[in-house]
Every structure is written in structure tokens, then in C-alpha cells.
Amino acid sequence: MSSILSNVLLAPEDPVLSVIFACRDDPCPIKLNLSAGAYRNEEGKPLVLEVVRRAEQQLANDMSCDKGYLPIDGLADFNKLGAKLILGDDSHALKENRVVTFQCLSGTGSLRVGAEFLAKHHQQSVIYVPNPTWGNHPSIFTLAGLSVEYFRYYDPQTRGLDFEGMLEDLGAAPSGAIVVLQACAHNPTGTDPTLEQWEQIRQIVRSKGLLPFFDNAYQGFASGSLDSDAQSVRMFVADGGECLIAQSFAKNMGLYGERIGALTIVCTSEDVARKVHGQLLLVVRPMYLTPPIHGASIVTTILKNSDMYKDWTIELKGMADRIISMRQQLYEAIQARGTPGDWSHIIKQIGMFSFTGLNEKQVRWMAKEYHIYMTYDGRISMAGLSSKTVPQLADAIHAAITCIP
């Protein structure tokens, strides 16, 4: 029988997936996967938060819970509490009922729903993303029908923020263009603007009439404080202007597989918010109809209960502090080996990832010789390290730097 699908072309190699698959197929017992953006404990195992287990047990014992469809916009209490978490208890936008929140499929789904909405209803189809940015951003926005452009963000010479280049590029963007800003713990560089720099970014975004779209994947996971990590977003919301926020609970609650997140759109009035809500319903309904209930129920249970909320913040800070500790241990191990170069960027960067400065040739060599896997741009997941594996990585970095140009 002839194949109807015979004309399907072989998919191009995905640079991140190829690393993950190579590590998966490596039989070496000491292989180390630092490519995936998922938290691991000191034993290298996925962590289920104790407060999440308690919430699930409470839900399992509640005979009033059912498995019926949620509304198209998701679980109402989840939306309310999720928006409050990112915008703050005293948000004027929330009090004035000009905020629209839709439960979505984690951060990726929130970005896609927001992009589809903007492609249909925003007058400007150009969207600016940082260079570099999360590898999935360009595909999400392109497939939604937006035209992706880049603004300068990272300076490989200083291994820090190219702030002047960023302001220059944003200042040259056309009025109405969409600008993707990562709220904290920038992926892949781990480099964030200071609060003073965020204020300058806000001023140029507003003066140019640009539309900010925040990717908020790591709230509480960068500094250990939910409020501190939300400051950039709240700065923009406080000025009364519009913005979009894609929110994820994958990292900060460890709910990776539950695919739980939200899209929040802050509008200028309650009337505009009502119209936006109606149009978002038309975006979501043919896409996936309604979101899943379990993850939203877990998050809602934790956010509604003051004791659980407090326990969550303690566990969350524990994860953030462990990552900060891994940065310090890696920096000290590299220093102890006398590895050439300045490695202070490892402790200056923040969040799950570190942009090491290793080149692709060195990265591939480390995978072959030391069975350590990272993305080809030299990004490592600090959350995948442990006190046991820091020496292994430091040895490999030292060898790569001294042997491979």
C-alpha cells in the first residue's frame, strides 16, 4: 500500500533534544545531565515538595471533588490567586477589575495563547525577544503568526548584561511592537537587570509605546522571595499601562508534569478587560477547549491555606538556596584548580541556569571525554548539580579550557 504521508520530511535536529537524547543513550554510569531545566535534589532525583504531597492527600480525601470539565478560562480560584501572587496583594489593577487571567498549559501554553491573541488583535505583528533567549520562544511566536526580531541582551565579553545595547535596540523598535521580557532568572544567561535598570527599561518601553510580554517562569526560584522576584512585573503594572504575563508553577512548586500556568493580561480599564476575556475564550476553545484540573487544584489548595502557603515559601527558599550554594561551590572548585579566566560570572548570575562561556567545541568534547552534557551554547542547569558532582564538572571545565581552544 502506498503511503499517504510519504512526503513528510525528516525533522531538523533540535539542539536541546539532541543533547538530552545523547545523554539518555550514554551507558556511562557517571554521566551528568546539566541540559534539562528541572530541579534535582542532592541525590540527583526529582523533588516532590512535601506541601504538594499534603495538598494532593487533602484533595484525594475530599469526596466533593470531581473530574468534570473546567470552564474554558480555567479554575476561578486558581486564576484569582495566581494573579494575586504575581501582581501583589495591593495591586490597583486587580482592585479596579482590569485584569484578565486564563489558566493555561504551564508557561509554554500561556505564551502560545497570548501570542495567538496578539496575532489576531494587536496592530503590530513584530515581537522582540532577547538575544539570547529560551530556545522555544521563537518557535512559539512564529507559529502563532508573529514576526520575531531580537534585541541585544547578553555581552559575551563581560558575561553580563549588555544594557546599553538593550536600550538602544528597544529605542529603535517600531511603536506598538511587542517586547518579551523575562521577569527574573533569565534563561539561558542567568543575567538579570538591576531594579534601577528595570526602571530605565520601563521608561523606554512606555515612551516608545511598546507592549511588554513577561515570561514569569521562575518567581521565587531566583532569589528565594516571591515578592522580590515579582518586582520587575509590578513596576510595569503600577504605571497603569498594559502588559501580558505568562506564569508557570512548574519550577516554583515542582509541578513540571502537571502543566499548570496562567496567562494574565493587565488592561487599562474594566471595559477593555471584558472584551479581552471574550476574545481569549475564542482563542482557547478551538485550541484545547478547557485546561486540566489536577494541577490547578494543587496550586489553589496551597495558595488558599495560610499554613500551606508558609510551608511552600520555606521549601521554595530551600530550593533557591541550594542552587545558590551550587554556584558558590562550583566557583570555588574552579578557582582551586587554577582554571584560566575570570569565573566570577558563575556567582553573579542568578536562577536555575548559568551561561558558562564554554564554546560548542568544548561542550562536545566534555560530553565525549567526561560524559557531561549541556546545551551547545554552554548553558548548564545549576539545579542539576550536587556537592558530589561539582568536582566532576570543575575537572571537566578545567580540562576543556586548557586543552580545547
In the predicted model, is pLDDT for residue 391 greater than 80?
yes
Cα separation of 186 and 181, whole Å?
9
- Of 304, 332, 366, the one marking the end of a domain is 304
State residue 233's pLDDT score.
Answer: 98
- Please report, for residues 109, 274, 276, the alpha-carbon distance to residue 285 in angstroms, rounded to integers and kept in the order given: 13, 17, 14
Alpha helix stretches (DSSP H) within 62-105? 76-87, 92-95
Mean pLDDT of 398-404: 93
Confidence category of residue 404, pLDDT binned at 50, 70, 90: confident
In the predicted model, is pLDDT for residue 50 greater than 90?
yes
Q: To 5 degrees, how large is the angle CA 150–CA 152–CA 157? A: 140
Query: Who's near 116: CB < 8 A, 6+ residues apart?
Result: 144, 145, 283, 287
Please report whether residue 143 resides in a domain: yes
State residue 331's pLDDT score.
Answer: 97
100 and 225 both lie in a single domain: yes
- In SS3 terms, 214-262 reads as EEECCCCCCCCCCCHHHHHHHHHHHCCCCEEEEEECCCCCCCHHHCEEE
State residue 13's pLDDT score.
Answer: 83
Please report whether residue 8 resides in a domain: no
State residue 37's pLDDT score.
Answer: 85
29 and 173 both lie in a single domain: no
Q: Which residues of 252-280 are buried (b: 16+ CB within 10 A; e: fewer)?
A: bbbbbebbbbbbbbbbeeeeebeebbeeb
Mean pLDDT of 306-317: 98
State residue 18's pLDDT score.
Answer: 87
Please report whether residue 210 resides in a domain: yes
Residue 144 exposure: Cα atoms within 13 Å on the Cβ side: 30
φ/ψ (deg, to 5) at 214: -85, 135
290 and 377 both lie in a single domain: no
Please report whether residue 62 resides in a domain: no
Cα separation of 378 and 14, whole Å?
16
Q: Which of 94, 100, 104 is nearest to 74 (CA)?
A: 104
Mean pLDDT of 193-209: 98
Question: Residue type for 92, please?
Answer: H
Confidence category of residue 25, pLDDT binned at 50, 70, 90: very high
Please report whether residue 378 resides in a domain: yes
* Residue where the block lists cell 500500500: 1
Please report whether residue 377 resides in a domain: yes
Mean pLDDT of 25-34: 93
CATH of the domain at 397: 3.90.1150.10
Cα separation of 170 and 163, whole Å?
11
Confidence category of residue 44, pLDDT binned at 50, 70, 90: confident
Confidence category of residue 75, pLDDT binned at 50, 70, 90: very high
State residue 384's pLDDT score.
Answer: 92
Omega cis (within 30) before 138? no
- Of 259, 279, 304, the one marking the end of a domain is 304
Domain count, the chain: 2
State residue 36's pLDDT score.
Answer: 84
233 and 357 both lie in a single domain: no
Is residue 181 within 8 Å of residue 200, measured between CB atoms? Answer: no
Cα separation of 363 and 400, whole Å?
8
Mean pLDDT of 329-336: 97
Lowest mean pLDDT among 94-98, 292-296, 401-405: 401-405
**Residue positions annotated with a catalytic role:** 134, 215, 251
CATH of the domain at 158: 3.40.640.10
Lowest mean pLDDT among 163-167, 311-315, 354-358: 354-358
140 and 197 both lie in a single domain: yes
What's the first-to-final CA gap in the chain, in angstroms? 53
Assign 186 to helix, strand or coil: coil
In the predicted model, is pLDDT for residue 2 greater than 80?
no
196 and 144 both lie in a single domain: yes
* Domain residue limits at 119: 68-304
Please report whether residue 4 resides in a domain: no
24 and 88 both lie in a single domain: no
Cα separation of 241 and 58, whole Å?
40
Is residue 98 within 8 Å of residue 273, measured between CB atoms? Answer: yes
94 and 170 both lie in a single domain: yes
Please report whether residue 55 resides in a domain: no
The pTM assigned to this predicted structure is 0.95
Encode pLDDT of 203-233 as tens digits: 999 999 999 999 999 999 999 999 999 999 9
In the predicted model, is pLDDT for residue 146 greater than 80?
yes
105 and 198 both lie in a single domain: yes
339 and 297 both lie in a single domain: no
State residue 15's pLDDT score.
Answer: 81
- Of 241, 271, 304, the one marking the end of a domain is 304
Q: In whole numbers, what is the pLDDT of the chain averaged over residues?
A: 95
% of residues, the chain, pLDDT over 70: 100
290 and 191 both lie in a single domain: yes
State residue 4's pLDDT score.
Answer: 86
State residue 358's pLDDT score.
Answer: 95
194 and 331 both lie in a single domain: no
In the predicted model, is pLDDT for residue 172 greater than 90?
yes
Encode pLDDT of 95-141 as tens digits: 999 999 999 999 999 999 999 999 999 999 999 999 999 999 999 99
Cα separation of 403 and 405, whole Å?
7
Confidence category of residue 405, pLDDT binned at 50, 70, 90: confident
Cα separation of 261 and 102, whole Å?
9
Q: To 5 degrees, how large is the angle CA 286–CA 292–CA 295? A: 145
